Chain A
């Protein structure tokens, strides 16, 4: 399990904002934590999957995709802020994500 500090939080936030600005071809300044990924910027589940892969590589995470899928079923993500929180939780708990959620 990783210790989450302010540097990691900042990195995650920057990565997520840059990713959506590029993928959805929107000005990064127009995004905020309340931006709805599907309704406001036409994002999709494949983008979510791609972001997970980016973080898995970046932080060398030991977590199965289906574990994240099960977690997402209990904690649906709609906004950029919720997505950032989930990514931080994934980095922190990796494969213990579901276990620690009980």
Chain B
């Protein structure tokens, strides 16, 4: 597989565990345990108790983000040791912290701090307000934009996953109203996301400034070398989900991390950009397969693999 150009895609957070995230990955449970141990020592002792059925923390937003990051990072190291090395990587939404860790720009522990600080900054300004997010599948962007413009003042399109798949953020009541309206107008599927804040929307712009200050002491390094293998650094450019540019300086990365909180993303365009760069294999480096599913509507010769499929 290594002759092909690979991109690692790090998902944001898992909303459901359909299966054991270690299944089909021989030896991965040791990696996961090691990262859980580090995270429980550095951030929250409860993390060591993670189990995908019994203690999955799915009802706790911050803990879910930690767990997704831990799983993503453990997979990154697992693949590195098996010499599956990507030319590019991208972090979907909060997956950006995993991408930074993977590229050697931050340490594992610094990523945990970033997640905590982002959550704290966002919670501070959203507390007391009811926000939400949702997914709309089966309408074109023009139709969706028109419905929002005419009927909803607080809803924003905050990500596009494919030609017919969108993420929306805003006031909870309006999100629920829009989801009902689009179903009646022909959307094939809608779903509320299990979050209480409007990620990637202008409503949390203030949080970005606060977050930026909180992480100003974390040194973001040049993306290139793996922290655990400095003798054989490997190039791994991070692609922005905001601009689709390659983020190749610490300054560009810091800006991306801060803007990521309150700026709309475009996963659809990012996939097209990665294809332009010659990527033919997308590896979803995380516990879910949501991004693989979304890739169905992208034209082009490429394959999208789950971690277990990548080993075959």
A interface with B by C-beta (< 8 Å): 42, 44-50, 53, 64-70, 72-73
Contact = CB atoms under 8 A, between A and B. Distances in A.
Task: Bin chain B's interface residue count.
Answer: 10 to 19
Given A46-B137, A49-B164, A69 B293 contact: no
A66 B189 contact: no
A72 B293 CA distance: 21
Contacts of B183: 69, 73
Contacts of B165: 46
B186 A65 contact: yes
Contacts of A66: 138-139, 143, 185-187
B177 interface: no
Contact of A45 (B143, B184, B188): B188
The A contact surface, by secondary structure, is: helix
B186 A49 contact: no
Contacts of A46: 137, 165, 189, 293-294, 296-297
Contacts of A70: 184-186
B140 A65 contact: yes
Contacts of A73: 183-184, 186
A78 to B, nearest CB: 14
B296 A69 contact: no
A48 B294 CA distance: 12
Nearest to B165: A46
Contacts of B139: 65-66, 69
